[in-house]
């Protein structure tokens, strides 16, 4: 999509963008089926706008005008309605971006632990790689592994700049990113939560008790271990 | 009240890391869905009575009594909705994430019981889109629950039916505001709505709607299991029960903890989370997410409960404690806070949209050495002009903490301003920080403790409004 | 559905006691006590308040936080302060916030002088801004559509324009993109905002962000005057205010009338005024001379016309359409009937409804009002496409569905733009509207309707579903009488099935008890703007003024006139604001008819093909703001046109031209003023008896609500006959859209909506050639 915005006039040669008439827009069958399934979940079909746009973004890489027109054709709404929705939400891309996303949390808790420098290093590391979309993101809800990033939807942290090359290698190779640092493997911090020592879960690499909590080495706030149980 | 030296009772986090707890098999083995059976054997009124007796207050931020909220729904046959607010976006908050990922059935069970009490037949979990792992866990649990007849038509032969859909958001803090969430769930931009009408009367699709936070609903099975009165014995009088707190920032053991409400805040910050790194003290802390006015080290002995924190001029909010150590410039904290709310303001109402934007610009001017002490007064006045004048609480959520920082750290901000001014001037005249340092102007300058402020941020005034660019700014 | 009613309460505002209807929003209730609460986003026409701009914050005793006056319903005993220190501080703060990024380029802004932002800044602002940071600057103005320019710097994000697009016109083309301080008004992917009602956003904008491209930089508020008028470019007859500078129309704004337009205008009504002031406008009489139309003196034109008509005598005929006023119609009828002895005249496009049926359909008890469309339990749109036929009613139907949960059903031969708000859409074969109505009436009476539905090309079960919807459910009945309005198009009574359609309508009305139910009824959209008024004035082949009996035999209808001319049985035709090649069905027949006619006299404003090729005498037509006369709204509201702008060139009042020709044909009229012509009309139509211009005033008056309405007489309608009506296929297709009109074709910023671009060049070239300056001097 041409980067529309404040400075762009409407193209008077174009027709008005109304609800696409049936058959006007070709929609991939899988996408159509997925959107229709979402629409069936709600009393009002418009409720499916977010899941439908997310599906179209997976199909097209971003919410391109073509992607939006396809959703509009299936949902029977105007493309402007969807564009307005898409532009409101951070995870829906209204400009072309790389297929892989790296959201680096730079909100307070992460930035107190060096997220801004991490983001800058990330951006330097992917400079010129059109496939990887590195962007700052607001609080991702993982301040316990600060500083952290969501890599194609997978939370990893704590991260330091030294982790970046390995992480990007994993991304480009299509491997699980930094498996040891994934949030999925982290145990709760509360020492009282788990009354028993559970057998090691196959997915849980680290020892029980939050020992996998690594803070960036350059951060003087680094602290390891956990307090003694009360 | 729980003493600091006795272990807190565990209601939500009990064996939370037990392998397979996210599956129905393990959850049931541990007594899961027993509360649902018990509730369905009671009348909806009796279930509601238990919830009211528990004194459970909403865990999402506003702290409104859960039972009372259910009772606000009109009676009678009509489509009523229950919406679980799982858009956990308040900076510093990550408790719901842990629950949904590791014990999704507990939430599903809570939702079914609450829907029974409220007479709701359609329910949705609005989960923030970033929580992929957690949404997948919920979807898997929901499939199991449907298969077992815990969700669907005529649940366990009770006559109560419920549809439940996991709805994934797409990245907007404002969708955590209940009416913004409703608009978003209806497929619109997540703009908050004018209240009244309140969601209990006209919510989702204009129907009566009950909206509760994940933790609130996940607590429901425990209340049914132990009885409302028994639950109310936990905690303190107006803040009953246990609470999940997320501790982050400058602490040695950041993470989620389940505490009994009313324990001293110091016990959480130092006792559980280990306090700031060796050699550092606490400069300030947000007791309830970044929207709560900051408190200082002097306030650490306050009991951690709703009313005490409110009396201290702040709030318990979502139960997210962010600790800032004494090596961090308060301006950087203010800047992060203000930029976050500027980014997340939906733009619907004037004071929030313009006030957040203006505040960031003023902070940038202070940091650039282009401000005078009068600007601090203007900034404080702008915060006052925002507070109470907005459509929803987002504007207040910036203005209250910023206002508190200006009030509590005025001297530091003035000193920061002066240093920045001298540094800026030095570009022409003195040409080096060392010369300034010699004058003492840079003494104790903690700037180096943080990374460069706002890497990737725009210079003030540079094509600020261009669409698309705000996504990069943090 | 009951209209909102409320009791009067007393509240206190700024220390004074004020009475107001309970639950009025505070900003409106305050006005009753002469207190103004400033607003930007509040606009009741747009629906529920949104409370976005925060300009209307007030202090209410007992409520700790300031409240938005736009969304707080007033209650008995409420104590409100709008000038307390707290409120003043909040108001000044909001103004300061709003001006942060507003460019304050008032000296070069079109809105300057009539700008709510200016006024409120002056009245409620603090007078200074403490914002010293750079404001944002962007390219401006930009085209949003051929009609509208957008200046995004000036926008204060009040949401009015996007709410209009989304909740009023429901075209959903104009939206906000991005969020927070970056939000901006835009369309999808650079497409223009083109929709039938787009121009309303210009009038809604409280700043200079949205401006009319046709009006930009044409005038300052102190250069202009406003003149109330009625737009007669379609049957909706919206009330308008014409912005006048130097005797020319520079702009048309809505003049809100809840019973007519609800304060909205379509783009044709808003922008077609440009066609009044273009070089292509005919501003002097023309006479065909040596095969070419040439400008001539009035005297010569009148002579030629008079001679031609008198030659034809009883073989003359007349057709009226377009913006013809009732007075002009009456004078044409008298010219033909009394002056020339000819009964051949018509103001319907096709077909003739017998007098008894016409009277029955016009019965006051059966007439729905426009507001009934909004409050009825169910509305059936029958054989009409409102957005093409009377656009403003489209908005009213949507409003009813959106705000009052009216059940909307549409029965039409083609796709309808009302499909989204409609509960039910039923199709029938083109031209089979009357047959469909017969089938529906049978279904409503509980008779077997399967065969009848098949004859109409409709599905029997759909007809049954429609019948159920119109009857309402039992729970509906518990809430009082089920109010149903049928909005029907003139084409239902077109061609050979005219009487059949009328009978079917009457039996529908009978089956639904429309005559006995308040808020229920029939509402016809005639084909021509003043179609109702002209019929009531007697511009019909079979009825005199007030559907009165004719002394002699009935004349020919429009189609009969065409046939008569082609066959040589008629020799002259008077075309009053009608180019039959464009306005009437069967273009080919009319082409032959006009070619065969020995005298064609026309009133026209632009040289469209039929006029250009066939007229022998062309009198320049007046634009509606130049006219003096009466028009009648489809619901019977008698409205008045008063001259708002000057006649250009040699244009004269057309009623004078007709009166002159009538006198030359031997009538004694002695009309010296427009008021006298109106008096003649009101005296001629029995159920207008006693009407005065004062009574009509600026808002009009429905004649059904006056005592004289009984003068219509109760005509016993012929018993409804069963059986299928013949479908006149092709009739539906022949109806032209609203946009297919010279007013659109010749308005520079509007011409892009003209559906026949191929005609445009021809019409332009012909006009340029004929009306070139050097020719204008010829006589």
CATH number of residue C29's parent domain: 3.10.20.740
Classify the phi-psi angles of A198: left when phi > 0, otherwise alpha if psi is within -120 to 50, otherwise beta: beta
For tokens 């929003």, the residue is: C25
User: What's the mean pLDDT in C195-216?
Assistant: 97
pLDDT digits (tens, 9 = 90+) for B134-158: 999 999 999 999 999 999 999 999 9
Of C177, C179, C191, the CB nearest to A10: C191
Subunits with 3+ C-beta pairs closer than 8 A to A: B, C
Q: Which residues contact C213 (CB under 8 A, 6 or more apart)?
A: C143, C146, C147, C148, C149, C749
Instruction: Write out chain B residues lying below 8 Å of A225, CB-based.
Output: 252-253
By CB neighbour count within 10 A (0-12 exposed, 13-18 middle, 19+ buried), where does C476 fall?
middle
In a domain, A204, yes or no: yes
A65 touches chain C (CB under 8 A): yes
Domain boundary among C499, C525, C551: C525
State the count of interchain CB pairs (< 8 A) between A and B: 283
In a domain, A102, yes or no: yes
C701 pairs with which residues across the strands? Answer: C638
Q: Which residues contact B144 (CB under 8 A, 6 or more apart)?
A: B23, B24, B105
> How close B306 comes to chain A (CA, Å)?
21
Q: What is the pLDDT at residue C714? A: 64
How does residue C438 score in pLDDT terms, banded at 50, 70 and 90?
very high
Write out the H or E segment, with its range, that includes residue C232.
none
In a domain, A2, yes or no: no
- Is pLDDT of A222 > 70? no
A51 touches chain B (CB under 8 A): yes
Q: What is the pLDDT at residue B452? A: 33
Residue C222: CA atoms inside 13 Å, Cβ hemisphere, count?
A: 2
- Is pLDDT of A204 > 50? no
ipTM of the shown complex:
0.91
> How close B379 comes to chain A (CA, Å)?
21
Verify that A49 and A158 share a domain, yes or no: no
In a domain, C446, yes or no: yes
User: What's the mean pLDDT in C211-220?
Assistant: 95
Subunits with 3+ C-beta pairs closer than 8 A to C: A, B
CATH of the domain at A141: 3.40.30.10
Instruction: Write out chain B residues lying below 8 Å of A117, CB-based.
Output: 451-452, 455
- Is pLDDT of A125 > 60? yes
Asked if B170 and A53 come within 8 Å (Cβ–Cβ), the reply is yes
Instruction: Write out chain A residues lying below 8 Å of B88, CB-based.
Output: 141
In a domain, C28, yes or no: yes
Verify that A72 and A151 share a domain, yes or no: no
Verify that A80 and A174 share a domain, yes or no: no
Q: Name the nearest CA neighbour of C401 among C168, C634, C200.
A: C168
How does residue C42 score in pLDDT terms, banded at 50, 70 and 90?
very high
Q: In terms of CA atoms, which chain C residue is nearest residue A10?
A: C190
How does residue C621 score in pLDDT terms, banded at 50, 70 and 90?
very high
Site from C177, C179, C196 to mutate, A interface, most A CB atoms within 10 angstroms: C177
Instruction: Write out chain A residues lying below 8 Å of B468, CB-based.
Output: 3, 5, 94-95
Asked if A10 and C190 come within 8 Å (Cβ–Cβ), the reply is yes
pLDDT digits (tens, 9 = 90+) for C67-93: 999 999 999 999 999 999 999 999 999
Domain boundary among C57, C83, C99: C99
Asked if A16 and C195 come within 8 Å (Cβ–Cβ), the reply is yes
Asked if B347 and C180 come within 8 Å (Cβ–Cβ), the reply is yes
Asked if C183 and B464 come within 8 Å (Cβ–Cβ), the reply is no
State the count of interchain CB pairs (< 8 A) between B and C: 111
Class of domain B24-233 as given by CATH: alpha beta
Asked if B256 and A94 come within 8 Å (Cβ–Cβ), the reply is no
How does residue C718 score in pLDDT terms, banded at 50, 70 and 90?
low
Verify that A185 and A79 share a domain, yes or no: no
> How close C141 comes to chain B (CA, Å)?
16
3-state SS class at C80: strand
Do residues B10 and B242 touch, judged by C-beta distance below 8 A? yes
> How close A170 comes to chain B (CA, Å)?
19
Question: Taking all residues of chain C, what is their mean pLDDT, rounded to a whole number?
Answer: 93
Interface of B with C (CB under 8 A): 172, 189, 194, 342-351, 353-358, 361-362, 365, 378, 381, 385, 388-391, 460-461, 463-470
What are the Cα distances from residue C216, in Å, to A223, B86, C277, C749? 67, 50, 16, 12
Instruction: Write out chain C residues lying below 8 Å of B393, CB-based.
Output: none
Verify that A140 and A204 share a domain, yes or no: yes
C50-78 burial, b at 16+ Cβ within 10 Å, e below that, comes to: bbbbbbbbbbbeeeeebbbbbbbebeeeb
Instruction: Write out chain A residues lying below 8 Å of B188, CB-based.
Output: 46, 49, 85
Site from B348, B356, B385 to mutate, C interface, most C CB atoms within 10 angstroms: B348
3-state SS class at A113: coil
CATH of the domain at C454: 3.40.228.10
B339 touches chain A (CB under 8 A): no
Q: Report helix, strand and coil shares of chain C as percent, to nearest 5.
A: 40, 15, 45
- Domain containing residue A139: 98-225
Verify that A54 and A129 share a domain, yes or no: no
Asked if B468 and A108 come within 8 Å (Cβ–Cβ), the reply is no
- Domain containing residue C395: 356-525
Verify that A218 and A139 share a domain, yes or no: yes
- Is pLDDT of C661 > 50? yes
Q: What is the pLDDT at residue C562? A: 97
Q: In terms of CA atoms, which chain C residue is nearest residue B385?
A: C93
Q: What is the pLDDT at residue C757? A: 79
Asked if C49 and B194 come within 8 Å (Cβ–Cβ), the reply is yes
Class of domain B236-325 as given by CATH: alpha beta
User: What's the mean pLDDT in C248-263?
Assistant: 97
User: What's the mean pLDDT in A5-17?
Assistant: 89
Q: Which residues contact B275 (CB under 8 A, 6 or more apart)?
A: B251, B252, B269, B282, B323
C68 touches chain B (CB under 8 A): yes
Q: In terms of CA atoms, which chain A residue is nearest residue B276?
A: A221
3-state SS class at C50: coil
CATH fold for the domain made of B330-471:
de novo design (two linked rop proteins) (1.20.1440)
- Is pLDDT of C408 > 70? yes
How does residue C717 score in pLDDT terms, banded at 50, 70 and 90?
low
> How close A15 comes to chain C (CA, Å)?
6
Verify that A80 and A182 share a domain, yes or no: no
Asked if A16 and C144 come within 8 Å (Cβ–Cβ), the reply is no
In a domain, A144, yes or no: yes
Do residues C514 and C522 touch, judged by C-beta distance below 8 A? yes
Domain boundary among C481, C509, C525: C525
User: What's the mean pLDDT in C676-692?
Assistant: 97
- Is pLDDT of A8 > 50? yes
Of C172, C176, C192, the CB nearest to A10: C192
Instruction: Point out the residues of chain B with pLDDT beneath 50.
Output: 1-6, 428-474
Domain boundary among A86, A111, A129: A86
> How close B308 comes to chain A (CA, Å)?
24
> How close C175 comes to chain A (CA, Å)?
6
What's the number of domains chain A is made of? Answer: 2
A2 touches chain C (CB under 8 A): yes
What's the number of domains chain C is made of? Answer: 2
Instruction: Write out chain A residues lying below 8 Å of B474, CB-based.
Output: 106-107, 111, 116, 119, 136-138
> How close A169 comes to chain B (CA, Å)?
22
d(CA A187, CA A206): 9
What DSSP designation does C320 have? E
For tokens 């205010």, the residue is: C241
By CB neighbour count within 10 A (0-12 exposed, 13-18 middle, 19+ buried), where does B146 fall?
middle
Q: What is the pLDDT at residue C475? A: 66
In this structure, of A14-23, A46-55, B162-171, the range with the lowest mean pLDDT score is: A14-23
> What are the residue ranges spanned by the domains of chain B?
24-233, 236-325, 330-471
How does residue C317 score in pLDDT terms, banded at 50, 70 and 90?
very high
CATH of the domain at A35: 1.10.10
- Is pLDDT of A202 > 60? no
Q: Name the nearest CA neighbour of A132 among A182, A168, A161, A91.
A: A168
How does residue C657 score in pLDDT terms, banded at 50, 70 and 90?
very high
> How close A194 comes to chain C (CA, Å)?
43
Touching B: A residues 95-154, CB under 8 Å: 95, 103, 106-109, 111-120, 123, 135-144, 146, 150, 153-154
> How close C751 comes to chain A (CA, Å)?
13
Of B13, B188, B474, the CB nearest to A106: B474
Touching B: A residues 167-206, CB under 8 Å: 183-184, 187-196, 198-199, 201, 204
Do residues A73 and A104 touch, judged by C-beta distance below 8 A? no
Verify that A213 and A106 share a domain, yes or no: yes
């Amino acid at each position: 999509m041409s980067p529309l915005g404040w400075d762009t006039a409407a193209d008077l040669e174009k027709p008005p963008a109304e609800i696409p008439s049936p058959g006007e827009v070709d929609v991939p069958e899988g996408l159509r089926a997925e959107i229709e399934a979402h629409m069936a979940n709600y009393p009002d079909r418009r409720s499916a706008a977010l899941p439908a746009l997310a599906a179209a973004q997976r199909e097209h890489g971003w919410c391109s005008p073509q992607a939006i027109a396809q959703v509009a054709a299936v949902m029977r709404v105007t493309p402007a309605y969807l564009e307005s929705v898409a532009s409101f939400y951070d995870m829906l891309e209204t400009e072309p971006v790389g297929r892989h996303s790296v959201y680096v949390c730079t909100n307070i808790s992460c930035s107190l632990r060096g997220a801004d420098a991490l983001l800058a290093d990330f951006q330097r590391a992917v400079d010129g790689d059109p496939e990887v979309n590195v962007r700052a993101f607001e609080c991702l809800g993982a301040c316990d592994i600060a500083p952290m990033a969501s890599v194609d939807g997978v939370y990893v942290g704590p991260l330091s700049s030294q982790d970046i090359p390995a992480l990007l290698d994993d991304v480009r190779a299509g491997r699980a990113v930094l498996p040891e640092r994934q949030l999925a493997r982290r145990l709760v911090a509360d020492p009282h939560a788990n009354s028993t020592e559970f057998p090691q879960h196959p997915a849980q690499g680290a020892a029980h008790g939050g020992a996998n909590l690594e803070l960036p080495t350059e951060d003087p706030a680094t602290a390891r271990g956990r307090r003694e149980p009360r | 009240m729980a003493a600091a030296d006795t272990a807190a009772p565990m209601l939500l986090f009990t064996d939370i890391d037990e392998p397979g707890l996210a599956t129905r098999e393990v959850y049931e083995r541990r007594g899961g869905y027993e509360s649902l059976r018990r509730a369905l054997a009671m009348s909806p009124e009796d279930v509601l009575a238990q919830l009211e007796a528990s004194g459970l207050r909403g865990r999402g931020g506003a702290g409104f009594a859960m039972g009372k909220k259910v009772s606000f729904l009109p009676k009678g046959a009509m489509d009523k909705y229950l919406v679980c607010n799982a858009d956990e976006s308040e900076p510093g908050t990550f408790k719901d994430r842990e629950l949904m990922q590791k014990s999704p059935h507990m939430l599903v069970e809570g939702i079914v019981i609450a829907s029974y009490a409220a007479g709701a037949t359609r329910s949705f979990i609005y989960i923030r889109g970033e929580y992929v792992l957690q949404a997948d866990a919920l979807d898997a649990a929901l499939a199991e629950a449907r298969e077992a007849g815990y969700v669907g038509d005529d649940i366990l032969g009770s006559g109560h039916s419920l549809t439940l859909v996991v709805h994934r958001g797409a990245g907007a803090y404002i969708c955590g505001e209940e009416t913004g969430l409703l608009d978003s769930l209806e497929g619109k931009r997540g703009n908050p709505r004018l209240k009244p009408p309140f969601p209990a009367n006209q919510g989702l699709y204009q129907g009566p709607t009950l909206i509760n936070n994940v933790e609130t609903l996940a607590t429901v099975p425990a209340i049914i299991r132990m009885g409302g009165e028994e639950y109310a014995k936990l905690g303190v009088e107006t803040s009953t029960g246990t609470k999940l707190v997320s501790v982050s920032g400058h602490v040695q053991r950041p993470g989620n903890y389940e505490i009994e409400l009313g324990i001293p805040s110091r016990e959480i910050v130092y006792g559980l989370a280990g306090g700031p790194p060796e050699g550092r003290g606490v400069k300030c802390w947000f007791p309830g997410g970044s929207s709560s006015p900051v408190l200082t080290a002097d306030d650490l002995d306050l009991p951690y409960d709703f009313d005490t924190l409110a009396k201290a001029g702040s709030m318990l909010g979502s139960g997210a404690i962010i600790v800032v150590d004494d090596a961090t410039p308060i301006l950087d904290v203010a800047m992060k806070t203000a930029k976050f709310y500027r980014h997340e303001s939906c733009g619907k109402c004037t004071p929030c949209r313009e006030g957040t934007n203006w505040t960031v610009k003023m902070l940038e001017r202070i940091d650039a050495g282009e401000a005078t002490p009068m600007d601090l007064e203007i900034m404080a006045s702008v915060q006052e002009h925002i507070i109470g004048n907005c459509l929803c609480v987002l504007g207040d959520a910036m203005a209250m903490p910023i206002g508190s920082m200006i009030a509590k750290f005025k001297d530091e901000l003035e000193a920061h301003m002066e240093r920045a001014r001298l540094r800026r001037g030095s570009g022409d005249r003195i040409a080096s920080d060392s010369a300034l340092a010699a004058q003492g102007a840079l003494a104790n300058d903690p700037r180096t403790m943080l990374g460069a402020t706002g890497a990737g941020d725009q210079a003030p005034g540079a094509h600020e409004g261009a669409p698309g660019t705000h996504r990069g700014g943090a | 559905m009951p209209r909102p009613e409320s009791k009067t309460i007393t509240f206190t505002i700024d220390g004074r006691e004020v009475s107001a209807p309970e639950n009025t929003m505070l900003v409106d209730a305050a006005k009753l006590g002469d207190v103004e609460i400033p607003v930007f986003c509040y606009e009741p026409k747009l629906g529920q308040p949104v409370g976005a701009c925060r300009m209307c914050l007030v202090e209410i005793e007992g409520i700790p936080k300031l409240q938005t006056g736009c969304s707080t319903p007033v209650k008995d005993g409420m104590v409100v302060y709008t000038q307390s220190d707290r409120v003043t501080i909040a108001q000044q703060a909001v103004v300061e916030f709003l001006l942060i990024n507003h460019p304050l380029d008032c000296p070069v802004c079109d809105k300057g002088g009539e700008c709510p932002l200016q006024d409120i800044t002056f009245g409620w602002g603090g007078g200074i801004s403490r914002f010293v940071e750079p404001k944002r600057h962007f390219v401006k103005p930009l085209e949003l559509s051929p009609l509208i320019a957008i200046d995004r710097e000036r926008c204060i994000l009040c949401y009015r324009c996007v709410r209009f697009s989304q909740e009023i016109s429901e075209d959903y083309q104009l939206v906000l993109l991005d969020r927070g301080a970056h939000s901006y008004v835009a369309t999808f992917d650079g497409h223009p905002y083109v929709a039938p009602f787009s121009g309303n956003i210009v009038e809604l904008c409280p700043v200079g962000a949205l401006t009319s491209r046709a009006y930009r930089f044409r005038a300052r508020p102190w250069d202009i005057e406003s003149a109330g008028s009625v737009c007669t470019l379609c049957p909706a007859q919206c009330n308008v205010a014409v912005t006048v500078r130097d005797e020319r129309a520079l702009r048309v704004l809505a003049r809100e009338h809840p019973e007519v337009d609800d304060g909205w205008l379509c783009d044709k009504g808003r922008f077609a005024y440009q066609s009044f002031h273009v070089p292509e406008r005919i501003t002097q009489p023309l006479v065909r001379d040596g095969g070419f139309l040439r400008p001539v003196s009035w005297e010569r034109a009148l002579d030629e016309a008079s001679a031609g008509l008198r030659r034809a005598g009883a073989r003359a005929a007349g057709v009226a359409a377009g913006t013809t006023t009732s007075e002009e119609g009456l004078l044409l009828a008298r010219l033909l009937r009394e002056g020339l002895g000819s009964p051949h005249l018509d103001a319907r496009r096709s077909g003739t409804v017998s007098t008894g049926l016409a009277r029955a359909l016009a019965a006051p008890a059966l007439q729905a009002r426009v507001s009934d469309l909004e409050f009825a339990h169910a509305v059936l749109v029958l054989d009409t496409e409102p957005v093409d036929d009377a656009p403003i009613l489209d908005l009213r139907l949507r409003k009813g569905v959106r705000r009052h949960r009216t059940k909307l059903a549409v029965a039409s031969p083609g796709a309808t733009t009302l499909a989204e708000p409609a509960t039910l859409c039923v199709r029938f074969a083109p031209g089979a509207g009357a047959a469909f109505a017969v089938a529906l009436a049978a279904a409503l009476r509980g008779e077997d309707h399967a065969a009848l539905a098949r004859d109409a090309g409709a599905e029997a079960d759909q007809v049954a579903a429609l019948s159920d919807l119109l009857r309402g459910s039992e729970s509906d009945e518990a809430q009082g009488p089920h109010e149903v309005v049928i909005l029907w198009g003139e084409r239902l009574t077109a061609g050979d099935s005219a009487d059949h359609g009328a009978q079917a309508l009457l039996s529908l009305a009978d089956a639904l008890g429309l005559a006995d139910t308040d808020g229920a009824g029939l509402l016809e959209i005639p084909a021509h703007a003043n179609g109702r008024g002209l019929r009531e004035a007697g511009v019909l082949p079979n009825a005199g003024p007030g559907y009165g009996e004719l002394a002699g035999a009935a004349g020919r209808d429009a189609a009969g006139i065409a046939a008569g001319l082609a066959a040589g049985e008629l020799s002259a035709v008077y075309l009053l604001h009608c180019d039959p090649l464009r306005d009437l069905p069967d273009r080919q027949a009319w082409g032959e008819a006009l070619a065969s006619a020995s005298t064609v006299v026309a009133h026209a404003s632009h040289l469209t093909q039929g006029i250009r090729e066939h007229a022998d005498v062309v009198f320049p037509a007046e634009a509606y703001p130049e006219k003096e006369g009466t028009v009648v709204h489809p619901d019977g509201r008698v409205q008045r046109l008063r001259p708002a702008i000057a006649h250009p060139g040699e244009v004269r009042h057309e009623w004078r031209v007709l009166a002159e020709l009538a006198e030359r044909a031997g009538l004694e009229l002695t009309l010296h003023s427009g008021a006298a012509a109106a008096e003649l009309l009101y005296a001629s139509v029995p159920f207008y008896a006693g009407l005065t211009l004062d009574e009509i005033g600026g808002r009009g008056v429905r004649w059904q609500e006056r005592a004289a309405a009984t003068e219509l007489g109760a005509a016993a309608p012929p018993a409804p006959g069963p059986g299928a009506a013949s479908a006149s296929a092709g009739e539906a297709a022949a109806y032209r859209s609203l946009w297919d009109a010279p007013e659109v074709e010749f308005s520079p910023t509007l011409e892009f909506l003209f559906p026949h671009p191929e005609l445009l060049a021809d019409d332009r070239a012909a006009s340029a050639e004929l009306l070139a300056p050097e020719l204008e001097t010829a006589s």
